[in-house]
Amino acid sequence: MLEAPIHIPGSAVLVVDYGGQYAHLIARRLRELGVPAVVTPYTRVGGVDLSKYSAVVLSGSQRSVLEADPAVLDSARRVLGDAETPVLGVCFGHQLIARILGGVVEKGCGEYGRVMVRLVERDELFNGWGGEEYVWMSHGDCVSKPPPGSRVLAVSENGIVAALKIVLGGRVVYTVQFHPEVSHTVKGLKLLDNFARFAGVERKWVRDYYYSLTVVELEKYKGVEGPVVAAVSGGVDSTVAAALARRVLGDRVVPVLVDHGLFREGEVEEVVENLAKAGLKPLVLDEKERFLSRLEGVADCEERRRIIGEEFAKVFDQVMEEQGARVFIQGTTYPDIVESGGTGVADRIKSHHNVAGLPLWFREKYLVAEPLKHLYKDEVREVARMLGVPEYFVKRQPFPGPGLAVRVVGVFTRRKLEICRRASAVVEQVLRRHGLLDKVWQAFAVVGDDKWVGVKGDARRVGYVVIVRIVESSDAMTADYFKLPYSILDEVSREITRSIEDVTMVAYAVTTKPPSTIEPC
């Protein structure tokens, strides 16, 4: 499980997580600006020395401020009670600060999606903003009466307070109702840049710096004798984790690839060949029957993830014992932990098999090292390039640890798995043919239980519905569906229905993240 906050010497921003799925995205955006940023759950604020941080951001939340428990209120009071540290409240944090300082928060005034805000007072927080800008809102409550002595800096097109400035003694507190960290807020990054500049944060979060953090994470295990087992799948995360381990811990690192039968078409052979070229020739274990027999007939995706995590642990337990290893390396990243609710307060969206699926007994029996657990996907890719990891891995599209098991919706069957595998291969082939595959974040197919009546060979045929999902993203925290030209979409549809006999309908997913997730389950 993620420890929070990680230690970053000197100037940094502390993001207090109240359970919002965007808490880590705030840290991610600050890092884009070169600002070191770490996240801690509100439940741990009492044990944090706030004087070590240049600024504090209070995140959003799925909760209502009107129903906040005492621990939530106490954490914010502690932050606001600090004499010097600048504070920025975002969404829930905006309402929380307003309530604590004597303002009024009410229900029934929600705003969702893209909303126009108008600046009513100029302030350095909004340097570079026009008089009106689009932002991303996602709130059910609102500040109906600002705290005494506060100044309203912006209001939404619906008349809702969108930004406040509050002076507490000699310290300034800013709050915004919208989400500056989300790309849909057009000038959001500029606002965060202005806040960091106002707080005087040192801009030192660069590749060399966060690379050194991954090395420090692995150096803890230098004194542990024996082989070190590194789980690899061919994805950039596990490959980089293994490459880092090899650099820090030497040739005693043993890469292990478990073939669970849930990879894409031809993937295992291709990955093994490229890992060997990268100096990470893996031990390959054929465990297809073990996994597929356990998954057969299971409808609930979370149960599938649990099963996969459990079976992985059993396989690697056997490997660890055979190798005489005590240290286990895996490529867990920040987004894996975010979606698993791994900071301890966020609603779990989906458990990641590295995080929630790995049984406690395995973590208690072995030393589990996760050198990338504080990095986002693009930061992992930067470290990959620094290590000289082949571009084959750097440019690969993200692929979930549970593999195609999370792209089969409803009851899991081997036939649906094969349809998903073949249809996904078609999607990739068509996009590659048109030079588009490297321009999107992910492209794949999903199959569920739904059926559609069709006509094949002049006969009535009831077949499966395949949903094609192609998205653009930079970090998997938010995503837009890719506007695929109709002619290419038609090509995808025709090739899927032609090459898979029992598919009679192809649909295209056109929902962003949020409100959807990239993977179906």
Q: Is residue 421 part of a domain?
A: yes
pLDDT at position 19: 84
- Whether 187 and 245 share a structural domain: no
- Of 24, 139, 179, 184, the catalytic one is 179
| 282: DSSP letter | P
Domain ends where: 392, 421, 446?
392
Which backbone phi and psi does 465 adopt, to 5 degrees?
-100, 125
CATH code at position 426:
3.30.300.10
pLDDT at position 20: 67
Q: Is residue 63 part of a domain?
A: yes
| Cβ 465 vs Cβ 409: under 8 Å | no
Could you count the other beta carbons within 10 Å of the beta carbon of residue 457?
A: 7
Q: Is residue 73 part of a domain?
A: yes
- Whether 180 and 286 share a structural domain: no
- Whether 276 and 418 share a structural domain: no
What distance in Å separates the CA atoms of residue 415 and residue 292, rounded to the nearest whole number? Answer: 11
Residues at the binding site are 233-239
Could you count the other beta carbons within 10 Å of the beta carbon of residue 364?
A: 8
- Whether 84 and 173 share a structural domain: yes
Nearest in space to 393 (alpha carbons), one of 282, 469, 480: 282
Q: Is residue 271 part of a domain?
A: yes
Domain ends where: 139, 169, 203?
203
Nearest in space to 31 (alpha carbons), one of 206, 194, 240, 185: 206
- Whether 328 and 470 share a structural domain: no
Q: Is 91 a catalytic residue?
A: yes
- Whether 128 and 217 share a structural domain: no
Domain ends where: 203, 220, 250?
203
pLDDT in tens, 271-284: 999 999 999 999 99
What distance in Å separates the CA atoms of residue 431 and residue 445, rounded to the nearest whole number? Answer: 13
Q: Is residue 520 part of a domain?
A: no
CATH code at position 30:
3.40.50.880
| 45: DSSP letter | G
- Whether 221 and 302 share a structural domain: yes
pLDDT at position 352: 47
Q: Is residue 263 part of a domain?
A: yes
User: 164 has which bridge partners?
Assistant: 152, 175
Could you give the 3-state DSSP secondary structure of residue 486?
helix
- Of 181, 311, 339, 370, the catalytic one is 181
Provide CB contacts within 8 A for 69, sequence distance 6+: none
- Whether 193 and 71 share a structural domain: yes
- Whether 348 and 479 share a structural domain: no
- Whether 180 and 226 share a structural domain: no
pLDDT in tens, 294-332: 999 999 999 999 999 999 999 999 999 999 999 999 999
Residues at the binding site for ATP are 233-239
pLDDT in tens, 466-496: 999 999 987 777 789 999 999 999 999 999 9
- Whether 19 and 108 share a structural domain: yes
pLDDT in tens, 145-199: 999 999 999 999 999 999 999 998 888 999 999 999 988 899 999 999 999 999 9
Name the domain count of the chain: 3
What's the domain range around 238? 207-392
Q: Is residue 360 part of a domain?
A: yes
Which backbone phi and psi does 115 adopt, to 5 degrees?
-135, 140
Ranges of residues in the chain with a pLDDT under 70 are: 1-10, 20-21, 83, 335, 337-357
Could you give the 3-state DSSP secondary structure of residue 459?
strand
| Cβ 328 vs Cβ 363: under 8 Å | no
CATH code at position 322:
3.40.50.620
Strands 151-156 and 161-168: antiparallel
Amino acid at the residue 115: V
Helices and strands in the chain: count of H runs, count of E runs = 15, 18
- Whether 174 and 271 share a structural domain: no
Q: Is residue 399 part of a domain?
A: no
What distance in Å separates the CA atoms of residue 413 and residue 34, rounded to the nearest whole number? Answer: 47
pTM summary value = 0.81
Peptide bond into 514 cis (omega under 30): yes
- Of 24, 32, 91, 133, the catalytic one is 91
